[in-house]
Chains A and B, each alone.
Chain A
Amino acid sequence: MPDAKKTLTPSKVFLFGTIIKNPILVQVIGLCPAVAASSSLTVALLLSFVTTILLIVCEVLASALLKPLPSWFRVAVYMITGLLFICPLMYILDEAGFSVVSDAGVYLPLMAANSVVALRCEKFAVKRSVFLSFYDAVATGIGVSSVLMLSGTIRELLGFGTVAGKAVFESAPVPALTMPFGGFVVLGFLAAFLKKFISTFLSGYSYDMPFRIKRTRRRRPGRTSEQPVLIEPTSSGEPLPLGESTVLSSPAIEPDAASDPSLSGGAVRFQIHEAPKESGKESFADVFYNSMSEDLFAREEAFDDIAAEVKTEKHGGGQFTVGTETSPSANSDIVKPARDEAERVVIPVDLDLLEEEEINRALKKDSEGGKDG
């Protein structure tokens, strides 16, 4: 949301911290204690308490005092603050004879370097007032704590057959849930339920979630190489000249085109341009063609235009995009409409097919040229 910062109210901060941007289930951060340590309710309670207190202390500190400092220094301050809190707490609990400290193991001291604390401080607290930071810390703490305790209760109940040490079942129904593998399974189902809850009861906030579920075609793994290709909506509705376009059907595009009733019966045209290189990551086409010797392809001029940015148009005009995000018919409930024409949609396109098409055409052209010559 572009104006989210301006219209941020305490109630919205609370809703975002607890549900919409839940650190564990939605943002998927701070998984280590949630998966590995919180296999029982008592440990989950201890970790929740520590996380909430750390969040409140660090966010208020960051918002009140640490704004002038550089970010790399602030992160160190968060860790030192966490250690200053956790070390005495561990000592006191250990002296008092609570076994929960040994149950939590190494994960309790590791909470000093909690990614949730550092992220919330850097993303939120250093840019906002102390009041809002405190609210955010409490909300995020409640969000983390609820997930930890829910996960801990489920895992203890099914993994050990107890709740907070009290026996509920005679034997453990599913002992494997006490392992980290069980933590992942439980968190996965909780995340799915939360997603469903948000899309059902808080559908107005689904755009504010850090990620959106894209409905893509289910593909068999390993069959083709999926390479993201930028696809732009065309500015004009006129069809491309035949000489500049190529008709191509791709496994990644065809189903979406088929799902759109406005495209039925028409082929899809793609115009192939040079690929914009992503920083630090070469596309498959780059790797593939750079690995070839220059002499080998010196005569193959057509190979220079291989695979990349594709503009789509439908026969007979009518603008549309082949992406998954901007097609309202495919994802009516979760996908927002395109804001402007310059918005780009990244979808997977089978580069093998693109290359194969290009190679075949180049070889055919070359053989025809040879015959003519």
Chain B
Amino acid sequence: MAVKTVIKTDKQKRPFCCDMLIMLILPAVMAWYYYGGSVLRTVFVCMLTGVLSETAGAFFMRCPRDLGDCSSLFTGAAMALMLPADFPVWAAAAGVVFAVAAVKLPLGGTGFSPFNPVAAGFSFLCLCWPDKIFNYPAIDTGSGYVKGASLAGMLSVNTSIRPNTINVFDIFTGNVPGPAGASCIIVLLGCAVFLGFSRRRSLINSAGFTAACALFALMFPRVYSYNARPVSLLMELCSGLLMFSALFLVTDPAVSPEKPFHRFLYGAFSGAACMLLRYFGKFEEGVCFALLLSNAMWPPLYERILRRESKRELRKRVKRRSKNRALSAERRAPDNA
């Protein structure tokens, strides 16, 4: 019985990253609607860079190319949509090269890399150009938002969000400054529905992640309002890359466990790390660093969980058998008598 990944076992289905690419179409369309064709150009360049990096890396490392599973395409597209619309294209391409050539290929390739390549590439960009990556362009729709004042940025400056600061409809339609393809919540909810139909198990990761973030948002609100907790819940979940990461990064089959409950735990663990980094981190958006942290810390934690569960299961089985034996002995006793 060989260990198989979800990617390899689902031979009859499309590759996982192919589904993810399909899901990314709608965010890309919304990004084009709000920011114009420059976003699509960045997406195209990043996807091309991903494919070229994978081909070159596989050639130099003498390992088989995994172009058929669309993972390099997905890496490029996802990273481009996580960036601001006016982010330099060459820098975005550098992030993709780092994700593929320094994280994915050396650490095992598609389905085996212990760290999410997209999260690693985005973290690399955060460290290299922190002033550019969180400086979002204003949307020219008459809403009057200031350049760079994203929801996550406002939340990071505590109590800067007050009643009537933000229109809820704008938040749901993505009409606020933010990452090019990760701001429109309605579109992301549509992607979640697609994920629910195509990869139901992966949605459990997202549910765990979102639940943990929601819990943190309710318990420790960062808004100044008369009904702070619900407003905090809405703002935290809709800001930055949280929803996008919940759908596209936390569901990575290479690092997520198999059983549904374990998937939920993994998602919750990542969500807790994400919110802690949001609250105490240097940057306004710490979801990618949180994912890398959870990628590193989850395996030993998961091993402990498995040990505990197998121990409990064994106890139950032995107890059940002892009980059955005692019952059968009791039944035989009158017969013998």
Contacts and interface: CB of A to CB of B under 8 A. Distances in A.
B128 interface: yes
B263 to A, nearest CB: 12
Interface string A206-250: 000000000001111111110000000000000000000000011
Nearest to B301: A222
B257 A291 contact: no
B128 A176 contact: yes
How large, as a class, is the contact surface on chain A? Answer: 35 or more
Interface string A327-370: 00000000000000000000000001101000100010011001
Contacts of A292: 311, 314-315
Nearest to A293: B315
Contacts of A223: 3, 257-258
Interface in A173-189: 173-176, 179, 181, 185, 188-189
B63 to A, nearest CB: 10
A359 B303 CA distance: 19
Contacts of A355: 310
Given A175-B128, A218-B108, A222-B257, A288 B1 contact: no
Contacts of B129: 175
Interface in B106-138: 106, 108-109, 111-112, 114, 124, 127-129
Contacts of A291: 311
B306 A363 contact: no
Contacts of B307: 225, 284, 288
B147 interface: no
Given A174-B94, A176-B127, A251-B1, A218 B112 contact: yes
A255 interface: yes
How large, as a class, is the contact surface on chain B? Answer: 35 or more
A288 B311 CA distance: 8
Nearest to A367: B321
A305 interface: no
Contact of A363 (B2, B254, B299, B321): B321
A254 interface: yes
Contacts of A220: 3, 5, 111-112, 254-255
B114 A221 contact: yes
Interface string B261-304: 00000000000000000000000000000000000001110110
B285 to A, nearest CB: 17
A189 B114 CA distance: 18
B325 A249 contact: no
B2 A222 contact: no
B73 to A, nearest CB: 22
B337 interface: no
Interface in A274-322: 284, 288, 291-292, 296-297, 300
B108 A353 contact: no
B328 interface: yes
B333 interface: no
A221 B255 contact: yes
Given A225-B306, A370-B325, A296 B127 contact: no
A370 B303 contact: no
Contacts of B2: 251, 254-255
Interface centre among B128, B307, B315 (most CB of A within 10 A): B128
B195 to A, nearest CB: 21
Contacts of B109: 218
Interface string A160-182: 00000000000001111001010
B317 A363 contact: yes
Nearest to A258: B2
Contact of B299 (A189, A222, A288): A222
Interface of A: 173-176, 179, 181, 185, 188-189, 192, 217-225, 249-251, 254-255, 284, 288, 291-292, 296-297, 300, 352-353, 355, 359, 363, 366-367, 370
Would you list the 10 A-B pairs with minimal beta carbon distance, nearest first? Answer: A222-B299, A222-B302, A176-B127, A221-B299, A251-B3, A176-B128, A218-B112, A218-B108, A221-B114, A225-B303
6 contacts: A218-B109, A219-B112, A220-B112, A224-B3, A250-B1, A296-B318
Given A175-B129, A225-B306, A296-B318, 16 more contacts: A217-B3, A218-B109, A219-B3, A220-B112, A222-B300, A223-B258, A254-B2, A288-B307, A291-B311, A292-B314, A352-B306, A353-B1, A355-B310, A359-B314, A366-B321, A370-B321
Interface of B: 1-3, 5, 94, 102, 106, 108-109, 111-112, 114, 124, 127-129, 254-255, 257-258, 298-300, 302-303, 306-307, 310-311, 314-315, 317-318, 321, 324-325, 328
